[in-house]
Chains A and B, each alone.
Chain A
């Protein structure tokens, strides 16, 4: 007997179930979307993220967002993702910004030397100050390897929280192999409960929220 058959057999025996038996109806999923207006969501998002040591910048237009990114990275090297938003804002064309990586080795190489990783985010979650990124739109290493992460987020994509996210995406695996929630800078309290930022992931997180419709 294979391990699979044996284990499933043990499980069924333990539960008194037959192979293929339909499950009892599941308790209804609990999704409660709170109603918070868009402006309040942005304020809450900012409060939450900044409480964790992140920084929120507001930009009225994409051009303004680009200028803010340029100011943040200064003369340093940066890697930007292939997200349409970054291209439209002109961020991928900024001096010092590497972008357009389609193969992993080159992307990895660029990310290990860059000081900033610039991405967009699919959503923001106001209640916890989180960014949501799907692998289908964002390479994972850009928000992970460089010591600082800059995310550009459209204000209209700010959701209230987890409940609204899972209401919109009841099956997050459908379009992407990964959905990552990023809630503030990387941190650890493993040594004497003392907070240290940037242990493995970026210790600095900037989010530029673009207020115009994009």
Chain B
């Protein structure tokens, strides 16, 4: 089956939900604008140079990944920490369960981590009667609502303050409060107790630094610092692609990440953590673990063409730029990652057969590649994936759809033109009301109309 009926229904529902449409549209517009200001040449002349450098470093790190992983491990150990290797998500959960068991821990605090979302860590821990509390404000809200994050950097972007008032009132039994500031203070108070009582703090990692054996974490709230400081044990869970060769490379990546994500010069807190508390240090965790996760990444690594999917630093810029994400929202992408980056990595992590429509959830307008700070050529990877999908299928329509894209791809100028057109079309208000859910969700409807109108246009151009 191409797309599951429930998935298609989900998309239709989101597209028809005016409240969610408005919330997501305005938040992403804001983030887009802030990013554009932050990287504009007059305030950030080194932007393009840094992007190229970031791309080069990521490429180098991945091409020599075994070397850097071993170096990372050696350095973590030299500072008294330990590296755990996990083939699959279940092994991460097993490790943490074992640790919690040995240390007699039943409460864990977590800071936002897409990797742990990917492997459903919370569900696995809860299944064993452990309480794992999300502590990023947005993430806490979606956890209370029993949902998953809607956006890589803004997990509760689809919720209004009234929604949040409902959630807090219902789940925490506090008096109803609709002011964002007061809502945040309710979370602060509740979570403060958790931080101080938890035995294990779980974080993700924005970067793993090989020459230092360090985990680098960026954030604005302070919950990551609390998660990695207050509990006696810190466990960082990271995909093994997060490696950077040197601490000095952070001078490139930190600037790109903050500006691309939220338009900040730097996030409020940047933690460079290289092991448990040392002699003479008064606080900090006494035990430090880094879990390195494979879960499909090495398979992706083997594909030279698409390996660049692993360059992603999860800034979220491609989501904000994507007309499809902005329309269908974050929950209709299967898996933890949404938007253009989700459309390329989810199928590659889980295999193409499960949600073959994902690479088609794009108008190929190219906006994602344009904003990506590490220069991942997302449209090209989408096309590669579509090609793989059509090759593995015999359906005539699918083949046709692919041929059309193939034809476009061999004509770079036309392809660029098609991209521009798709971008313009997506911006026409009203057009979106004509059932774009269906259009984006099904291979039979997406590629053909877009292609046909493009070709029409092309013919007209040729005539004139």
Give chain A's interface residues, CB within 8 Å of chain B: 2-4, 6-8, 10-15, 17, 19, 21-24, 26-27, 29-32, 48, 52, 82, 101-104, 107-108, 112, 127-130, 135-136, 139-141, 144, 162-163, 165-167, 169-173, 176-194, 196, 198-202
Contacts and interface: CB of A to CB of B under 8 A. Distances in A.
Contacts of A130: 266, 270
B254 interface: yes
B221 interface: yes
Given A180-B225, A191-B137, A104 B251 contact: no
Given A21-B67, A101-B282, A135-B281, A171 B247 contact: yes
B143 interface: no
Nearest to A101: B282
Contacts, number: 267
A188 B221 CA distance: 6
Nearest to A30: B53
A94 B66 CA distance: 54
* Interface of A (DSSP majority class): loop
Given A10-B301, A135-B278, 11 more contacts: A10-B299, A14-B298, A108-B230, A140-B284, A171-B211, A172-B214, A186-B269, A188-B138, A188-B221, A191-B156, A192-B180
Which among A14, A26, A188 has the highest number of chain B CB atoms within 10 Å? A188
B26 A193 contact: yes
Which among B56, B196, B255, B268 has the highest number of chain A CB atoms within 10 Å? B268
B178 to A, nearest CB: 10
B164 interface: yes
Contact of A15 (B30, B63, B87, B294): B63
B252 A144 contact: no
Categorize the interface residue count of chain B.
Answer: 35 or more
B206 to A, nearest CB: 13
Nearest to A16: B302
Contact of A190 (B75, B138, B209): B138
A12 B66 contact: yes
Contact of B302 (A13, A139, A172): A13
B450 to A, nearest CB: 31
Nearest to B301: A14
Nearest to A135: B281
B66 A136 contact: no
A188 B220 contact: yes
B301 A11 contact: yes
Closest 6 CB pairs of A and B: A201-B222, A190-B138, A173-B274, A14-B302, A200-B222, A23-B64
A181 B135 CA distance: 20
Contact of B70 (A8, A27, A82, A188): A8
